Amino acid sequence: MRGQELISTPEKRAVSEAGIVLPPDLLQPFLLRFRREDLHIMAFFSGHPDYEAVEAMIRYREDGTPAIRAILTRHDQSQIDHVNDDELSAEGQSVARQTCRRDIALAVDAVPGRRHARLEFDSHAGEPVVLDITSVGEPDPGRGGVSDPGSHSPNSSLPLMRRRASTLAGPQTAVFVGGTHFQVPVKIRSGPFVAHEGYFTEGHTFGAIRAGTIGYRVKTRPARMAVGERWILDSADGAMAYRIANRDPDGRLHITRDDGAGESIEAFAHRDGLRVMRIRKLAGEGLKGGLDLAFDNAGRFSLAMEGETIVSGSVEEKRQAGTTVIALSPTQPDWAVARQIRVTSSRNGDRLTAVTTIGRSWPAQG
């Protein structure tokens, strides 16, 4: 293929062993997100010129107040996040997804045999939004499981969502935008039983790879690949530090991020870079479980959440004109196939940049 050089023979052997080979000084190019939520509420609605769904992922802080990410979905399937929490606001940085800070009001009631929640916030455009949801019953573990995101945000996210216990919305459920009431469509009608197209979930786990850009300069790098050695990176969001926390007898390095982000890397030293086997994102420092992105020795990747593999597929690496491109192409489940991850990394002097796009095929080569 003219104008393109595939990985050289030694690098091909390294990839065939296991892992992906990163350029020098590039440690972790993937924008990983992971959170455990206490509640997830959602309703679809009809008749609005711009929006078709509103939802909220809710986690209660130690003081009992809710950290909320409220999401409006447009008809073109793009989404806007509205958040009331510093951590959630920070997660909205550097990603190809609109995020705005808002005050959000939430009231949750346990009605006998049902659940009720009322969510209120001003949209990114200043419109008052209300989701008032009453469920048809109590959340049921039998309705738990992995959620299909459908076509929402196809070019900004590869999301993984698992419900612990869930139930549908009842006829009392209502959505208001700008003071106007919009109908929530009927999903099931069987005799006197009517359920609408909304959901009330207790126990919700969320993980994702986001589209966006990571950029930084390396201020300090390890003099040798030994325990305690550090990389210090200078980014637009401030300094980040990664430390070699452990080294196995076979040379596998366990690298941790030192700012409490709950991020870790398993890799082998490879020439002047790393051959990465696994990247893990936890809900926070010291917590177990989380999101795991792993690479095997057959050119495959897997994305697991809380130890359960949810997405898997093939990995391809290319080098061309001073850039390295890593493509993760999901092959299962079906809903993930269209959300190919493409990470393009480059270097300009001492600055490294990794740009992630989602849902776009590699360009044809002449």
In this structure, are residues 339 and 330 in contact, taking their beta carbons and an 8 Å threshold?
A: yes
> 262: closest CA among 34, 67, 91, 90?
34
Lowest mean pLDDT among 8-12, 57-61, 141-145, 299-303: 8-12
Domain ranges for the chain, please list them: 34-209
- Tell me what pLDDT residue 314 has: 97
Residue 12 pLDDT > 70: no
Q: What is the pLDDT of residues 99-155, one digit of tens each?
A: 999 999 999 998 889 999 999 999 999 999 999 999 999 999 999 999 999 999 999
Percent share of the chain, pLDDT over 70: 92
> 222: closest CA among 214, 213, 209, 231?
231
Q: What is the pLDDT of residues 213-240, one digit of tens each?
A: 999 999 999 999 999 999 999 988 788 9
The Cα–Cα gap between 103 and 150 comes to 28
Residue 15 pLDDT > 80: no
Global pTM?
A: 0.89
Q: What are phi and psi of 28, to 5 degrees?
A: -150, 95
Q: What are phi and psi of 236, to 5 degrees?
A: -65, -25
The contacts of residue 97 (CB under 8 Å, 6+ apart) are 79, 81, 153, 156, 157, 210, 211, 212
- Tell me what pLDDT residue 66 has: 98
Residue 169 pLDDT > 80: yes
> 363: closest CA among 310, 304, 323?
323
Residue 362 pLDDT > 50: no
Instruction: Give the H or E element holding residue 12.
Output: helix 9-17
- Tell me what pLDDT residue 284 has: 63
Lowest mean pLDDT among 16-20, 49-53, 322-326: 16-20
**Please, which pLDDT band fits residue 9 given cuts at 50, 70 and 90?**
very low
- Tell me what pLDDT residue 13 has: 35
Residue 5 pLDDT > 80: no
- Tell me what pLDDT residue 360 has: 61
Please state, in angstroms and as integers, the Cα–Cα distance from residue 41 to each residue in 54, 119, 141, 203, 350, following that order: 8, 9, 16, 11, 45
Residue 328 pLDDT > 60: yes
Residue 365 pLDDT > 70: no
Q: What is the pLDDT of residues 258-295, one digit of tens each?
A: 887 789 999 999 988 999 999 999 876 556 789 999 99
> 77: closest CA among 159, 187, 132?
159
Q: What are phi and psi of 207, to 5 degrees?
A: -140, 160
**Please, which pLDDT band fits residue 364 given cuts at 50, 70 and 90?**
very low
- Tell me what pLDDT residue 366 has: 35
Mean pLDDT estimate for the chain: 91
